[in-house]
Chains A and B, each alone.
Chain A
Amino acid sequence: MTFKKASWISGLALAAFGAIAAPVSAETLRFAWAQDATGIDPHKQTAFPSLRLMELVYEPLVRLDADLNIVGAVAESWEFSDDSKTLTFKLNPNAKFSDGTSVTSADVKATFERILDEATGAAARANFASIETIDTPDDTTVVFNLSLADVPLLTALSSANASIVPAAAIADGSLGTTVVGSGPFTLTSWEPNSRASLGVNEFWAGGDVAYDGIEISVLPDESAILASLRSGQTDFALLNDPLIATLVPSVSGVTLNRTPQLAYHVLQLNASHAPFDNLAVRQAISCAIDRQDVLDTAMIGEGTVTGPLTMPAYATDPANLFCYQQDLDKARELMAEAGFQNGFEATVVVATGEPPTAASEAQVIQAQLAEIGIKLDIKMMELSVYVDTWLKGDFDMAVALNGGQPDPFTMYNRYWTKAGNLQHVAGYIDDTLDELMLEGRAESDLAKRREIFAAFEAHLAETSPWVWLYTAYAYSALRDNVTGFVPTPQGSLFSLANVTIN
């Protein structure tokens, strides 16, 4: 009886709003996310959604799998010379752009010449600066001649910012307006901040895609995404808000993936400002902070405490790092040693809403530092103001969410090498950090690289220019009719090419 009534009401509601709700068996993957790509020129995009979209339509030379191992994309094989100063690629002879033309070494060469041209404004140019010349002995061979031993270059080449584009598209300047890539999908239409349609690239060398395409909807409000998952209007969604994501498991027929990210939440201390130039002060702060407590309070525990290195292949157990267990006695001792037994006042800059938990992070840190006499003044700033202040290095402390990279050198050379272009933002450098970074860059043996970067990580934690806190999760939600998706720590959507829809 009650059942009948409920179905009558839902029938009425259905008629009233005429919602097209019944989950139709589609050959199209209906995909929803809150933010849209900001452009379609793969070399100029840095926003997360743009990179995700570019990965589906373009291909770099190599790509990273779910464990961040390097696997082939346009390139079939690659080899470093013994001195790590020459990198040779063999291209997949079957690789084709979506207009049916083959991907040749000339396209690769033109692509990197474009990226290296300062006038392009390519986002990742700094990562490719070691490329001196590019040889193309035949159509499927590309040789990068490097000015120095640069092993991280290979990982940098896996970025969507290193997508191979047709030489012809560079010549006619159509990159920002049309998409001709060699990836699994083609962009058939794009209405910014609203929707995009992806068709299948029939020329894709990677195999057949088992469905017709992807309909991407931009639903700026994440509770609306949840509603559309519940009603079966969306098959696959990306979520950012931990509060929304934790509601997903209660929706029947929908599975939630939680994937730890490379990006890290960190409390930056500015060692070029007194008293943070004092090692004991920085160490005292590191010892005074209970990282798990910040994570539990600010992020409802949705994340993992991390050291400086967040990539699984290089990360060490944070428990072994300096003061990763809160130790207030030691912190007070260190403060006294630095001559601050009565504490001091400092300010911390925080961006409003970026990340959404930034304000609560700052408040927990404020309370924890008060325990050792540091009176923290929280300065909330609109994101652009924050970015400007941050880039100028004009702060005592900053709560930040910094992006991660699969290679430790690429991730940190900007901050912790003497030549790094964000060195002034970090405000701290010592010879050990600089030497270890350069050593790691030239070393191509993985086991030896791990050793070098483990030493680098331990040294960073001990000198405490920053207090690394935790990494958050990326969330993807899929209805049970979608199978085969493999989430990655970089948030790559590439495995959508291997998904089946039932």
Chain B
Amino acid sequence: MTYFLRRLITFPLIMLGVSILVFVAIRLIPGDSITAMLGTESGLLTPDQRAALAQYFGIDQNWLVQYGRWIWGVLQGDFGLSITYGKPVLEVIAQRFPLTLELAVLSLAIALIIGMPAGIYAATRQDKLSDLIVRMVAMIGQSTPNFVIGLVVLYILSALFGISPTMGRYIGLREDPIGNLTQLGLPALILGFSFAASVARISRSSMLDVLNEDYVRTARAKGVKRGSVIWKHALRNALIPVVTLSGVEFGYLLGGAVIVEQIFALPGLGRVVLEAIGQRDYAMVQGSILFIALNFLVVNLLVDLLYVALDPRIRLETR
């Protein structure tokens, strides 16, 4: 419990660090909201016009004042107004996050359901043909970029069969669950495929490690059945690297899968951040990066707690 509390106390400190980093980073990129909006046309502005726009965008003060204003608002739950959406930043995040969360959860599920059994199966049949096939598919899955698979699948569907998933009109889960799942199914499969490939590779190698441990050999020597050794004794310990990997990947996915969201025109968090950077929508970038960082922290905490549940030898308090 002390561990848990200590972690919770460090959260605000980390978030403060992230807030400063992202605040400075986005402002170090040359250009501002005005040039982002007007491009070369911004050369036509008179100094008064520019000053009026700067005030409108809240970039008329020095960085310290801007940061102070922003962080003071954040502490009171006000993340500022997005200039591109004309809405509070939190409202935009609340609108976009469910899609990203759903996509991440679906991909995680696909990755674990396909990747783990495949990896364990391959480990138990080391260097046999079936092991080689699993390893090869996993290699392809890991090394082919998501967007290539996405574009190829889109091309095949549309050119050969004249169909494509509904794009550009996002269907909410609550509004139409089936429509929503058919819309997200393909992108989730594509994201889940490479995720599953990583899971398969890591569960294969960690299972192989565990199978060489003393206690497994002891169990075998005692005549415990092969299947039972693998699924009862070895699996729990072999899971730890899988949990670590899945946690990190899931954390990334919660930040949005930009390119896949781009291809399938899904209004997820990744695209919000990308577009906000392009538009120099400072409040939106700052708010969503903070939110993504918080997700990472929470996922990491959950992963740590899972370690203990899986392997009682791990004591969080002593770390």
B24 within 8 A of partner (CB): no
| Contact call A223/B154, Cβ cutoff below 8 A | yes
> Which of A17, A177, A195 is in CB contact (< 8 Å) with B157?
A17
Cβ–Cβ contact A223 & B151, under 8 A: yes
Q: 0/1 per residue, B273-288, Cβ < 8 Å to A?
A: 0010001100000000
B182 touches A17 (CB 8 A): yes
Main secondary structure of the interface of A (DSSP, over half): mixed
Q: Given A217-B265, A388-B35 in contact, is the A13-B157 Cβ separation under 8 Å?
A: yes
Does the CB pair A21–B36 fall under 8 Å?
Answer: no
Q: Which of B298-316 contact A (CB under 8 A)?
A: none
| Other-chain contact of B164, A19, A38, A44, A123 (Cβ < 8 Å) | A19
**Contact call A194/B279, Cβ cutoff below 8 A:** no
The answer to whether B155 touches A223 (Cβ under 8 A) is yes
Q: Tell yes or no: A9 within 8 A of B by CB.
A: yes
Of A85-93, A113-121, A474-482, the stretch lying at the interface with chain B is A113-121
Task: State whether the Cβ of A193 lies closer than 8 Å to any Cβ in chain B.
Answer: yes
Do the beta carbons of A10 and B163 come within 8 Å of each other?
Answer: yes
A328 to B168, CA, bound (A): 51
Shortest Cβ gap from A113 to chain B (Å):
15
* B154 and A224 form a contact (CB under 8 A): yes
Q: Bound state CA distance, A444 and B155, in angstroms?
A: 54
Smallest CB gap from A120: residue in B: B52
Query: A414 to chain B: which residues have CB within 8 Å?
Result: 43-44
Chain A residue numbers with a CB within 8 Å of B161 are 9-10, 13-14
Q: Which residue in chain B gives the minimum CB-CB distance to A217?
A: B168
Whether the Cβ atoms of B162 and A232 lie closer than 8 Å is yes
Chain A, Cβ-Cβ closest to B162: A231
Determine if B49 and A125 form an interchain contact, defined as CB atoms under 8 angstroms apart.
yes
Known: A224-B263, A231-B158, A384-B31. A18 touches B86 (CB 8 A): no
Question: Would A38 and B162 be within 8 Å (CB), given that A177-B86, A191-B267, A422-B43 are in contact?
Answer: no
A-B contact pairs, 28 of them (CB 8 A): A10-B160, A10-B163, A14-B161, A19-B163, A19-B165, A20-B179, A38-B37, A38-B84, A39-B86, A47-B39, A121-B53, A123-B38, A125-B46, A193-B275, A217-B169, A223-B263, A226-B158, A227-B154, A227-B167, A228-B158, A228-B168, A231-B162, A383-B31, A384-B31, A385-B30, A388-B31, A391-B42, A414-B44
Residues of B within 8 A of A (CB): 29-31, 35-46, 48-50, 52-53, 56, 84-86, 151, 154-155, 157-170, 178-179, 181-182, 185-186, 262-265, 267, 271-272, 275, 279-280
Sample of 4 further A-B pairs with CB below 8 A, known A217-B168, A227-B164, A228-B168: A13-B157, A46-B37, A383-B31, A388-B35
